[in-house]
Structure 1
């Protein structure tokens, strides 16, 4: 059961089956209740009609009663002593009424004269018996009428004869209609349910297959992209505007980001190889010349190339750690003290930095990485400044702001984002031997972002570039 289509079809079929079973059961219960009410109503009407006639006509001389025709509905009249005093014609068997007799039983000896006296009195007395106003009782039983046996519901109505006897009239209505109707409906449901479930399963399977076809197309294309390693390919986007279409669009966005990341990585490797090749070649040349002619060995130049290689390797290592998602430490540190410390170690710079920092501006982060950011910004300012470099620290709301400004040529507006890319150097920087590899500003922005801050460049008051580092203050 690994297929989504199979799971969907099975789930839909199960839900429909449960719903149909519950609905069918509800229909059967309602139908049964309705037909039972109708049968009870028929039985009550018959019972009251018989009870009314019994009350009107009274007893016979033998103590039995005469009941009217009841259209083959079984009727049984029982007195207070449980004696059957009247039954309907052709009633052969009865059960459920409390008395199983189907033949009237005469009064015991000694009661006839009393009954006769009552009849003589009734002849002179215009008053007759009465039918009880109480709600009838209903019981279920069975009866055989003229050879046909069936289940019945009996209504029990009490009546008082003119002789003063209280009798109970049991009149039945057949439950055959209810049983036949319920049975027919139940049989129809049982016969129709399996084909209906087959139709539901088939339709669900086809609809799910159609709905999931774009997903299968996306999977197949992703498999092909994985096999070919061609990140320029894209998955098909259906024009349905639904979740599948959004999935395809998101997948293509992911592929585009992955392609850009891989391309950026390739360019990074190529640029790193290019930057490493120059100092390595220079160092090798100097060492080969020194080996052949020791008196010509340029030791300071070899040391400078080695330092350049060491710095470049350190930059590449830091970028690799940042790309891997390494989080900086959360040490509480004084940004003002960090600036003073860094400035004191650069007393021999070409252009001394003017420092304007108040006390007590604190941030959370890595001392080493933030010192690296400040050092990179100062190196950049030293390369471009004419006569002044200014460093300031201030607090703006919830942020600590570090600014490094110079009076150089500044950064053109259209280059202010590009200079933060890796291995990017403007033309005037490339003309200098000390221009660096173009990684300092990229490292500085990455570190700023890892600390929850930003690094931007704008025009300084002196006309040069001013780099602004904003970090969450404590």
Structure 2
């Protein structure tokens, strides 16, 4: 399991599926809530319409016992000002969600079927009420007396809503109740409750929920499958790169390269960068291998010469060439120092922080070297290591003196925020094709020259590496006298 979810493809599929699942759940909940709210609002509108119709009948003087409340689908209650149920739907058996659970009005007359179907049933008077009815009839017939008249009432503009349930003619269900108040003159304030069934709304919501419960898993399965396939196709080149890199590591063959897809996307750029890294690594390893081989070869010569002289001196002291042994020892010491400096530079050693006056350093370095002439500004300061910069100038001067016919000139000046050091000779110069090659390690253009005169071929390589470490450049061109012109540029301090 951990290996499965350790793959990018599995994690991408799981993540996409989870995101889509959360989005679908949120969207589904929003749809269901909106559907339920809209349908409930429609039921509330229907209930309000019925309640206001009953309230309108009351307001125009229809007595509560004369209201037509026999709608088969809607339970209706009419409450007096003191909360007494004065009228209700005929088939109402149970109700909740209103201010009273009563279903039978107080003093409700026995239902009677009128002879004329269009005539409302006449309430049967109870004991003690006959005189009141007669008085009411007299009052209506006479039409006199302000206190006995029942003029139009006032219906409240506010409507209250509530949820509840009711049993109507043996059928139970949930209802949306609307509450409307009507103020009838000389009779007080009546409260009318009318309900609209929520069965259709609940059915619609349940149907939508069923569709979602069936459709959403199928949709999530499609999303997971598509994500898995797309991710697999997208990551196939990455697997090829990984496999090739594993084989390169196992074989140590840095000449091999990873396949580059033709998609021009991030994976293609990754493959291209990987190949560039492999090429740079191959060059570095080859350079290191050649460096070790050349260093071993260069060290072998002075060591062998020194050993030979010492062995001869041990057997025949009178034949010991002391100056030659000293020269071989000095050459060996210089070579070891050069190799050690190159090793430090390759390790990324940063130059020491300090200020170095290149003008004064050039004069000091040229002192004791015949044929070298220095022209310099008063002060040309750069930041860096005095010892390393002195090694650069010394190597450049030694190289120029070996190739010059008669004179070497050194010019130091400041120019455009840079310190410029020019070392020129009047020798044969450097062919243009070899002007970069001479900065490689252990490279000599004058191979016919003896090693004792020509050095190990590390001076110019060290000079350029030090210049680069100090944020500068070292290039070679043609001097005015026709020889080589080495130009060192470093940022001014």
Could you state the TM-score of these two structures normalised by the residue count of structure 1?
Answer: 0.91
Give the distance between the partners of 1:444 and 1:144, measured in 2 at CA: 104
Cα separation, partners in 2 of 1:118 and 1:235, compared to 1, 3 Å: farther
Task: Give 1:122 deviation, angstroms.
Answer: 5.5
Which deviates more, 193-202 or 388-397?
A: 193-202
In the other structure, the counterpart of 1:39 is 43
Aligned 1:157-306 pairs, distance under 5 A: 157-161=180-184, 164-306=187-329
Q: Does residue 1:27 correspond to 2:37, yes or no? A: no
> Which SS does the other structure have where 2:453 is aligned?
coil
Could you state the TM-score of these two structures normalised by the residue count of structure 2?
Answer: 0.88
CA contact (8 A) 1:54 1:67 kept: no
Task: Give 1:181 deviation, angstroms.
Answer: 1.9
> Which SS does the other structure have where 2:246 is aligned?
helix
Task: Give 1:429 deviation, angstroms.
Answer: 7.3
Task: Give 1:415 deviation, angstroms.
Answer: 1.6
In the other structure, the counterpart of 2:103 is 102
Task: Give 1:120 deviation, angstroms.
Answer: 3.6
Task: Give 1:378 deviation, angstroms.
Answer: 0.7
Where do 5+ consecutive residues of structure 1 fail to align? none
Where do 5+ consecutive residues of structure 2 fail to align? 109-127
In the other structure, the counterpart of 1:55 is 59
Give the distance between the partners of 2:388 and 2:303, measured in 1 at CA: 27
In the other structure, the counterpart of 1:323 is 346
Match of 1:413 among 432, 447, 453: 432
Give the distance between the partners of 1:114 and 1:22, measured in 2 at CA: 66
The structure 1 segments of at least 4 consecutive aligned residues displaced by more than 6 Å after TM superposition are 107-111, 123-127
CA contact (8 A) 1:28 1:182 kept: yes
In the other structure, the counterpart of 2:8 is 4
In the other structure, the counterpart of 1:399 is 418
> Which SS does the other structure have where 2:349 is aligned?
coil
Give the distance between the partners of 1:131 and 1:150, measured in 2 at CA: 32
CA contact (8 A) 1:286 1:298 kept: yes
Deviations 1:276-300 (A, max 9, x none): 2332333333334334443333222
Cα separation, partners in 2 of 1:117 and 1:430, compared to 1, 3 Å: farther
CA contact (8 A) 1:129 1:163 kept: no
Give the distance between the partners of 1:122 and 1:13, measured in 2 at CA: 79
Cα separation, partners in 2 of 1:146 and 1:462, compared to 1, 3 Å: same
In the other structure, the counterpart of 2:21 is 17
Give the distance between the partners of 1:96 and 1:23, measured in 2 at CA: 31
Match of 1:386 among 393, 398, 405: 405
Task: Give 1:137 deviation, angstroms.
Answer: 1.7
Give the distance between the partners of 1:180 and 1:341, measured in 2 at CA: 102
